[in-house]
Amino acid sequence: MTAPAVSISEQDTDALGGDDSILMRQRRDHARLDAMMNRYQAEDLPPGELDGLWLDIVQLVFSHAFAEETVLWPLLRRVSPDGETLTRQVEEEHQAINELIARIEHSPDDPRRAEWIQQAFALIREDIRDEEDELLPRLRTAFDDRKLRRIGAAWEAVRATAPTRPHPGVPRRPPGNALRGVPLSAFDRLRDLAPGSGPAARRASLAVAGALAAGGAAVLAVRAARRHR
């Protein structure tokens, strides 16, 4: 990829549309992810604390990416001549991360787990660079500060209903991602509250997830994305 403009990592808050703009929200999430990954790699944490940090990373990765795919990338495909190519590449990165983290989660005792986690971190960092250097500067070019703040609010609303665990079978694009992914998010968030719960708790969580989904979480995500096309 060749950068079309200055990376958002090199611009100040005013240049990016203000503290509530989508560009600043994205950059804050990226910085938080980077800090958590660095801590995971650098500190000799007790196993329980290390597991908690890993869960925090996973939750942020998937809620962040889902909101991008629902709100941001459809916009980029509309306003940028090469938006289709750029977003497809990032969607492929997201899918690779999804599949790798799903493998990690499903194989807690595999001796390759530590290696896979390092691979996941490398993919996440590559994805962050591509977004900050390539995709997000195009949104800065296409929209004024007020619009960037409105997009930021829509992205935040969708992230609040987003899955927080890997689901490789969920489509990367709307409306399929919202229709299939948002119902799973309720189940994910209940699992996040009690990650060690047994089969009975998981069945109860799934029932609650269905009720929440029926209440319209998927509709919220799709509408938020459509309002900003």
Query: Which of 42-51, 91-100, 152-161 shows the lowest per-residue confidence on average (mean pLDDT)?
Result: 42-51
Quick: pLDDT tens for 170-203.
Answer: 999 999 998 898 889 888 988 888 655 444 444 4
pLDDT at 122 over 50: yes
Does residue 68 surpass a pLDDT of 70? yes
Residue 205 has pLDDT above 80, yes or no: no
- Inter-CA distances, 144 with 108, 124, 141, 213, Å: 46, 28, 8, 34
Is the pLDDT at 119 greater than 60, yes or no? Answer: yes
The set of residues, in sequence order, having a beta carbon less than 8 Å from that of 25 and lying 6+ positions away, is: 152, 155, 156
Dump pLDDT digits (tens) for 10-49: 999 999 999 999 999 999 999 999 999 999 999 789 989 9
Q: How far is CA 138 from CA 28, 83, 129, 204, in A?
A: 18, 9, 14, 44
Percent of the chain with pLDDT over 70: 83
Report whether 33 contacts 160 (CB < 8 A): no
Give yes or no for a contact between 177 and 62, defined as CB atoms under 8 angstroms apart. Answer: no
**Predicted pLDDT of residue 200:** 42
User: How many CB atoms are located within 10 Å of the residue 187 CB?
Assistant: 22
Q: Please give the pLDDT value at position 182.
A: 82
Res 227: pLDDT: 57
Whole-number Å distance between alpha carbons of 229 and 216: 21
Instruction: Tell me what pLDDT residue 54 has.
Output: 97
For residue 159, give both structure tokens.
Answer: 């992230």
**Which pTM was predicted?**
0.83
